[in-house]
Amino acid sequence: MLITTVLNGKSLRQEVPADKTLLDFLRENGCLSVKRGCGTENCGLCTVWVDGTPVLSCSYPLPRIDGHEVTTLEGVREEAAAFGAYMAGEGAEQCGYCSPGFIMTVLAMERELRNPAEEEINAYLAGCLCRCTGYSSQMRAIRKYLEKRHETD
Amino acid sequence: MRQISQKVRKLDAQALVTGMPVYTQDIVQGPYLTVKIVRSPHAHAKILSVDASKAMKVPGAACVLTHRDVPHVRHTLGGYAYAGSNPYDRLVLEDRVRFVGDAAAIVAAETAEAAERMARLVKVEYEVLPAVLDMDTAEEAPAVVHPEEDYVCKPSIRNGNARNVLACGESGNGDVEKVFSQCDVVLEDDYHTLGNSQCMMETFRSYSFYDKNRKLTVISSTQIPFLVRRTIAYVFGLPISTVRVIKPKVGGGFGAKQSLVTELFGAAVTIKTGLPAMVLFDRRESFTATTTRHEMKLRVKMGAMRDGTVRAVSLYVRENAGAYGDHAMGCVGLSGHKSLPMLGKVEAYSFRYDVLYTNLIPGGAFRGYGATQGCFAVESMVNKMAHALGLDPVEMRLKNIPMEGDVMPAYYGETLTSSHLDRCIRRGKEMIGWDEKYPRRQTGSHTVRAVGMAASMQGSGIGGVDKCFATVRLDEDGRYTVLNGAGDMGTGCDTILAQIAAEVLETDIANVHAAAVDTDYSPYDKGSFASATTYVTGMAVVKACERLIGQMMAEAAAALETPEERLVFQGDCILEKDAPENRISVSDLARRQMTSGNCHAFTATCGHMSQTSPPPLMAGFVEIELDTQTGQVKVLDYAACIDCGTVINANLARVQAEGGIVQGIGMALYENMQFSSQGKMRNNSFLQYKIPSRLDVPPIRVAFDSSYEPTGPFGAKSIGEIVINTPAPAIADAIYNACGVYMTELPFLPERVLDAINNKAE
Amino acid sequence: MASFQNYIFPESLEDAYELLQANRRNAVIGGNGWLALGRQKLHTAIDLSRLGLGQIRVGPAYVEIGAMATLRQLERELPGSLLACCVKPIAGVQFRNLATVGGSLYSRFGFSDPVTALMAMDTTVLLHRQGDVPIVDFVWQKPSRDIVLGCRVENNGRRAAYQTLRLSATDLPVLTVAVSRLGSDWRVVVGARPGKAMLAEEASRLLSEGKADAGTAASAAAEELSFGSNMRGSGGYRRQIAQVLIARAIEQLHGEGGLAIC
């Protein structure tokens, strides 16, 4: 079927199989930051935004992006680098494989929650698994990043 | 020290956090064949026939390979240095399948969809055989997992594969029974640990192709590039140097990628078809068809005096190898040799083991590598002994741990050359607030808070076995490149090696580039496992840098027309001690390589092997809240103090510790691998096999108290594995302190805890 | 991932319904959460997302939740409510941005948190053909080829306490318990037994008649309901913790705790 979408700010019209996953579609369109960690909707690695809402691209029905905007890490590289610098400062990226999905979720959280407490942050990010870090360094990075953003606001 | 112990950022951080295409699947370019594996639905069966005719009719079909199409060369997939003792009990494909998920055939097609269809259409006729699904009855079982005549096992191993015994063995020192008879208290208990899945986020994958010179090239997400190369060459009968393995960024390993997993399948397809081939295991395959931590049953007997001195200990371990023996020998050895030495005052110890084959998923390498299982059993018994004697478990440890300078008979007779374990225990105790919290506080009508602790050791590389080289090169612009073959799996060891180089070369880390592994260009390294890279490869880097400085000094002597002994290396330049204006900068020296007539290249390759494996040591303290009505345990706080020798990178060491402890918490509380009565793994997804989420763990608190290890680079030992060991025994003891029940089987599911509480009440 | 050849956004409910009847292998797609896990071979996927079913309307008498409202919408649009509370542990925000209330209802999974919670409230499931069906009946109906339009919950001040036990925070539950109270009318619902959620009628009656304290009612519920075993726990354990969680929920409501529908 034919879909029209805006991918990372660029209009795209493409004939796609109805049952292709959004994840595969995105990778085929050059968004290689998008990773598949489980295929059962439990790891968060494949997180992208549809109209700014973080969703799992491994299961989001591809035809549903017709007429909507899709954003991957490639579309927010500057912001990702800004937050990512805090992750790097803590060693929190480790193997890095979960970083794109995690960062997309953190940036969505930043837009959605105002001054979230640690508990809220953990609840918001609970769907982002990481096997390397044990999460503490990620929280340190988030806190420092949000504090800095808060100061500059 | 300018680079050492600093919070240096990982060299690849920027690429990773901006989602650059750096992993195996990101860098390969089509068109290529997609490879799928036809997997056995049976735990044990003979393959009578494979009918590929329907599958080959699928549009885009490239090939179906059966056991007749691959070399009949017995091998092991377990990555280990040359002296490895793994049995050679595998074929790429065989006319026998030994666990649910074992490979029966390989298919390849032009698209993933076609390959999947092919895999469904290959008709395999099986003769289902009785299966061995329980290691306790494996020896008497009518079925034999490895009856093959060409089974290969080293003569030094006491093997009885006809009885499903992969190995048995014993070691010891002194007469344990005699010393037990002299002890005030002797306790004995059985412990049971399960298989766990490593669950790195990037599942297994590799890509193989012939390069333009028809060199078989494999890009693989692996911890062991050189061992992958060696094994491919061995199995396919190729000279080693005609195979090339490239390791890009790897999305985690934790030991899972210390085995070959996908590489031989892809290579077989490329060799057969001449075409590029991609093998990518999904999460389900990663759970069911690779390797797990070894299930073990451990019996500990311990004898102590009333004052708390442990005088004798014995450990008997039954290890479930699963269907293949990839890492069985190493893991069972560590279960004793890295748990028993923690009792530093014993007059006698004995360690016995049996390793059994079963028709279940093979055991393999997983962070801790058997030491984790041994630590759970032995440390749990130390805690139990403390309670039996009415002693504080902390005091019990301080009384019994080995001290710096002690010889450790159970640790291959090595001397403990560096240890701050006593200080780590005291520090951890303060961090958790032990004196205020031990043993328990009632916090509600049905909630109790309690603390528990454990201590642990691991190794740093494999003494006398692990061999690693490093090449350090002065580039044309005065910067350095460190070439290594270690295989950074995401832990940051490339950065660690660059830091070590920068420290020796007295330069900024920004001037050091660490290249990814390519067996065509990187110096040999056995790979990134056994907590070896910092300690062993790091020393190779130190040596190579020193040799490189020597080369530069000689060249500077010629350039400055000054005897070398009057010169001094100062990082950015070499100058005459007594006439500092007589100097040459490193960048000028670098340029001289290209311009001077003497043709000296500033490049140095050095190897390193340590004869010993100095143990890092740590103490882990946990505070839990137990719901006495449901049996549920919540971890409220975890404090750890670690002696890994000199910390090379303060961030990366800390994150290793935090991550490893959280893995250990998952293992202790809910990572619960289950099999059906037919041997099929039941929880083969992240939906059913839960690893800790950030809601399940408190902030992990980590401190370092570093001793100085004289044989390590800048005094460093290792950090990668030890960190997973303490949670299980510490949490078990916190549960005991909360409600008086001993949990001896992992994981501590609420149901089990509640059962234990109810049984105690009866 | 389920496979399908066509993907259609019907322009009316009637079109959607007709399409659903046209082929046994046509199916309504909610959030795609469960279809993505399966390997079903479908003919046409029917996407209701352009039919205005994604709304949550809070009225004086009812709260109406459209089938395509996501679980995350419950949290955002009904903050502090029973439903917001009960969906929090489900997988993650990104998943809850996909998963729909209609999907949860139609699937009738035993482990469903929202189904357990909705059963404790005065909930009616709205179906395109069949019309309005009380949720207790709906859950036990065989899935029919009808379209779930959403549900309507009476905004009558009924309060409920929600209790669940999970082996890890984002796992499927070992057990779910919702106990609700409207004046003297009590309702005890237990889900993830691991079968479908059930109303514990005897326990509800005892409480409503004021004949039982928390412990007695919890025992009665554990007695009258059946429990089974799965990977997460045995039937025996579920029975034990059902008593514990029900008693805790009752205590919460005695203490004027509990949450309303909005």
Q: Residue range B628-635: average pLDDT? A: 98
- Does residue B613 surpass a pLDDT of 90? yes
Based on the fold, state whether residues A93 and A144 are members of the same structural domain.
Answer: yes
CA–CA dist B146, B96 (Å, integer): 9
Question: What pLDDT is attached to residue C39?
Answer: 83
Whether B750 and chain C come into contact, CB under 8 Å, resolves to: yes
- Does residue C35 surpass a pLDDT of 80? no
- C39 alpha carbon, distance to own chain's centre: 24
User: Tokens for C12?
Assistant: 């009316």
CA–CA dist B613, B206 (Å, integer): 32
Based on the fold, state whether residues A62 and A105 are members of the same structural domain.
Answer: no
CA–CA dist B291, B285 (Å, integer): 10
User: Tokens for B317?
Assistant: 């371990």
- Three-state SS at C42: strand
Contact at CB, C171 and B670, closer than 8 angstroms: yes
B162-176 tens-digit pLDDT: 999 999 999 999 999
- B395 alpha carbon, distance to own chain's centre: 31
Topology adopted by domain B420-457+614-762 = Aldehyde Oxidoreductase; domain 4 (3.30.365)
- Does residue B514 surpass a pLDDT of 70? yes
Question: What pLDDT is attached to residue B597?
Answer: 80
> Which chain B residue has its CA at the smallest distance from A136's CA?
B699
Domain boundary among A39, A72, A105: A72
Based on the fold, state whether residues A94 and A119 are members of the same structural domain.
Answer: yes
Chain C CB contacts of B672 under 8 Å are 167, 231
Contact partners, residue B57, CB within 8 Å, separation at least 6: none
Question: What pLDDT is attached to residue B84?
Answer: 74
- Does residue B1 surpass a pLDDT of 70? no
Q: Which of A85, A95, A129 sits opposite B250 (nearest CB)?
A: A95
- Does residue B11 surpass a pLDDT of 90? yes
Taking alpha carbons only, the member of B224, B243, B225, B222 closest to residue B234 is: B243
Q: Is the ipTM of this complex over 0.85?
A: yes
B366-396 tens-digit pLDDT: 999 999 999 999 999 999 999 999 999 999 9
The band of B29, judged by pLDDT with boundaries at 50, 70 and 90, is: confident
Whether C240 and chain B come into contact, CB under 8 Å, resolves to: yes
CA–CA dist C219, C10 (Å, integer): 49
Based on the fold, state whether residues A53 and A100 are members of the same structural domain.
Answer: no
Asked if domains B13-129+198-288 and B420-457+614-762 share a fold, the reply is no
Contact at CB, C6 and A63, closer than 8 angstroms: no
Question: What pLDDT is attached to residue B261?
Answer: 98
Chain A CB contacts of B651 under 8 Å are 89-91, 137
- Does residue B82 surpass a pLDDT of 90? no
CA–CA dist B357, B139 (Å, integer): 9
Half-sphere exposure of A96 (CA within 13 A, CB side): 27
Domain count of the fold of chain A: 2
Which CATH entry fits the domain spanning B13-129+198-288: 1.20.1260.10, 2.60.40.10, 3.90.1170.50, 3.90.1300.10? 3.90.1170.50
Contact at CB, B9 and A91, closer than 8 angstroms: yes
Question: What pLDDT is attached to residue A151?
Answer: 85
> Which chain B residue has its CA at the smallest distance from A27's CA?
B26
- Does residue A152 surpass a pLDDT of 70? yes
Whether B677 and chain C come into contact, CB under 8 Å, resolves to: no
How many angstroms separate the Cα of B615 from the Cα of each of B462, B645, B716, C254?
11, 9, 11, 57
Topology adopted by domain B468-608 = Aldehyde Oxidoreductase; domain 4 (3.30.365)
Q: What angle do CA A68, A73, A79 make, to 5 degrees?
A: 110
**Which B positions 661-690 lie with beta carbon below 8 A of chain A?**
661-663, 685-687
Whether B698 and chain C come into contact, CB under 8 Å, resolves to: no
Structural domain spans, chain B: 13-129+198-288, 155-188+295-408, 420-457+614-762, 468-608
What CATH number is given for C159-254 in this structure? 3.30.390.50
Q: Residue range B639-659: average pLDDT? A: 98
Q: Residue range B619-639: average pLDDT? A: 98
Question: What pLDDT is attached to residue B83?
Answer: 61
C194-231 tens-digit pLDDT: 999 999 999 999 999 999 999 999 999 999 999 999 99
- Does residue B726 surpass a pLDDT of 70? yes
Whether C233 and chain B come into contact, CB under 8 Å, resolves to: yes
Chain C CB contacts of B755 under 8 Å are 237
CA–CA dist B488, B532 (Å, integer): 11
Structural domain spans, chain C: 3-47, 56-154, 159-254
Q: Which of B682, B692, B755 sits opposite C168 (nearest CB)?
A: B692
For residues B597 and C176, the model is more confident at: C176
Q: What percent of chain C has pLDDT over 70?
A: 100
Q: Residue range B416-439: average pLDDT? A: 98
Q: Does domain B155-188+295-408 have CATH number 3.30.365.10?
A: yes
Taking alpha carbons only, the member of C72, C242, C62, C65 closest to residue C149 is: C65
Half-sphere exposure of B672 (CA within 13 A, CB side): 20
Q: Residue range A94-102: average pLDDT? A: 98
Q: What percent of chain B has pLDDT over 90?
A: 96
Q: Residue range B210-225: average pLDDT? A: 97
Best of C4, C72, C93 to substitute, by most chain A Cβ atoms within 10 angstroms, is C93
Q: Class of C56-154 per CATH?
A: alpha beta
- Does residue B711 surpass a pLDDT of 90? yes
- Does residue A153 surpass a pLDDT of 80? no
Contact partners, residue C179, CB within 8 Å, separation at least 6: C120, C160, C161, C163, C186, C187, C188, C189, C246, C249, C250, C252, C253
Domain boundary among A39, A54, A72: A72
B428-439 tens-digit pLDDT: 999 999 999 999
CA–CA dist A48, A42 (Å, integer): 14
Identity at A110, one-letter amino acid code: E
Whether B695 and chain C come into contact, CB under 8 Å, resolves to: yes
- Does residue C256 surpass a pLDDT of 80? no
Average pLDDT, chain B: 97
Chain C contact partners (≥3 CB pairs within 8 A): A, B
Q: Give the CATH number, domain containing residue A32.
A: 3.10.20.30
CA–CA dist B638, B602 (Å, integer): 48
Question: What pLDDT is attached to residue B247?
Answer: 97
Distance from CA of B616 to the nearest CA of C (A): 31
Q: What angle do CA B636, B641, B647 make, to 5 degrees?
A: 130
Question: What pLDDT is attached to residue B359?
Answer: 98
Taking residue B251's Cβ as centre, other Cβ atoms within 10 Å add up to 30
Based on the fold, state whether residues A42 and A95 are members of the same structural domain.
Answer: no
Best of C94, C176, C219, C241 to substitute, by most chain B Cβ atoms within 10 angstroms, is C241
Q: Residue range B489-497: average pLDDT? A: 96
How many angstroms separate the Cα of B167 from the Cα of each of B330, B433, C157?
11, 45, 69
- Three-state SS at B340: helix
Whether A96 and chain C come into contact, CB under 8 Å, resolves to: no
Chain C CB contacts of B445 under 8 Å are none
CA–CA dist B180, B159 (Å, integer): 30
Question: What pLDDT is attached to residue C37?
Answer: 84
Q: Residue range B607-621: average pLDDT? A: 98
Whether C3 and chain A come into contact, CB under 8 Å, resolves to: yes
CA–CA dist B236, B196 (Å, integer): 32
Question: What pLDDT is attached to residue C183?
Answer: 94
Helix H or strand E segment including C41? strand C41-47
How many angstroms separate the Cα of C262 from the Cα of each of C64, C156, C258, C259?
11, 10, 12, 8
CA–CA dist B616, B614 (Å, integer): 7
Based on the fold, state whether residues A45 and A28 are members of the same structural domain.
Answer: yes
Whether A103 and chain C come into contact, CB under 8 Å, resolves to: no
Contact at CB, C98 and A42, closer than 8 angstroms: no
Average pLDDT, chain A: 96
Domain boundary among A23, A41, A72: A72
Domain that holds residue A102: 75-152
